[in-house]
Amino acid sequence: MSVRIAPSVLSADFSALGNDVRMVADAGADWIHVDVMDGRFVPNISIGLPVVAALARISPLPLDVHLMIVEPEKYVDAFVEAGAASVSVHVEATDHLHRLVHRIRHAGARPGVAINPATPLDTLADIAPDLDIVILMTVNPGFGGQTFIERSYDRLRRLRDLLDRTGSAATITVDGGVDPARAEAVVEAGGDVLVAGAAVFATPDPAGAIAALRTAGQR
Ligand code: DX5
Ligand code: ZN
């Protein structure tokens, strides 16, 4: 399976979100990554249900919703209802991950789990076979445009081993600080999906950035 590119609209122009989504779709992106932040799980507030619903109406690409919120169990059904194709919750944000993952699937979306840079990967071992997606955070979540944490390459390799060992078919989404210069190494270490916010939207040539990510990721 070739690498997939998921631009994060966190760094898009919020006054012209529809245009930016269509632009990256035309440029060959695969998923639209939507970062939902509540100001509690992470120290920033971004966007929520109405924006996801609006994006779902116009996006030609599946919406990959990343919930950085406390008490995700209160909201997952609503995000699926709003049009999310996949919904990922943080392993750190719930005591009942198994129930929540199955609830997301039952609601009709692909379930994912996101994991912060300091959380031991082993916490995923018993849920991995039930997941469609693992989002490996390669920055501390909360903001776009941060620097990729170098130790993440080792975590990526260990996560790939864990998924193989547990018979999980989940894809690994690498989220935070990914740019064309890192794409090859990230894919080589086990990444399947590259999230890129600043590297796509904070450049003068987003389409060129998507092409560069794909080329580097396919080497
Ligand atoms: C971080 C978010 C990421 C972020 C990626 O809290 O989950 O999706 O927006 O943005 P860049 O690529 O700019 O690090
Ligand atoms: Zn994200």
40, two tokens: 């509690």
| SS3 at position 98 | helix
Given a contact cutoff of 8 angstroms between Cβ atoms, the answer to whether 6 and 173 are in contact is yes
- Compute, in angstroms, the gap from residue 170 CA to the centroid of ligand 1: 20
- Looking at residue 59, what is its pLDDT? 98
Global pTM? 0.98
Query: 4 CB under 6 A from ligand 1?
Result: no
CB of residue 173 inside a 6 A radius of ligand 1: no
Q: Do residues 32 and 9 make contact, with C-beta atoms less than 8 angstroms apart?
A: yes
In angstroms, the CA 210 to CA 29 distance is 7
Ligand 2 center from residue 175 Cα (angstroms)? 6
Please name which of 66, 149, 48, 177 lies closest in space to residue 114, comparing C-alpha atoms: 66
Local confidence pLDDT in tens for the 219 residues of the chain: 699 999 999 999 999 999 999 999 999 999 999 999 999 999 999 999 999 999 999 999 999 999 999 999 999 999 999 999 999 999 999 999 999 999 999 999 999 999 999 999 999 999 999 999 999 999 999 999 999 999 999 999 999 999 999 999 999 999 999 999 999 999 999 999 999 999 999 999 999 999 999 999 887
Q: Are strands 171-175 and 133-137 parallel, antiparallel or unpaired?
A: parallel
Q: Rounded to an integer, what distance in angstroms lies between the CA atom of residue 104 and that of residue 39?
A: 23
* Residue among 212, 216, 217, 210 at smallest CA distance from 33: 210
Res 179: pLDDT: 98
pLDDT at position 144: 98
> Tokens for 216?
């580097």
Full set of structural domains in the chain with CATH: 4-217 (3.20.20.70)
- For residue 219, the model assigns a pLDDT of 72
> What's residue 120's pLDDT?
98
Task: Give burial (CB, 10 Å; 0-12/13-18/19+) of 85.
Answer: middle
- pLDDT of 106 reads 98
| 117 ligand 1 Cβ < 6 A | no
pLDDT at 108: 98
Q: How far is CA 112 from the centre of its chain?
A: 9
ipTM score of complex: 0.98
* Per-residue confidence (pLDDT) for residue 87, from 0 to 100: 99
Task: For ligand 1, pick from 10, 47, 174 the residue to mutate: most ligand atoms within 8 Å of CB.
Answer: 10
The whole-number pLDDT of residue 10 equals 98
List active site positions.
35, 175
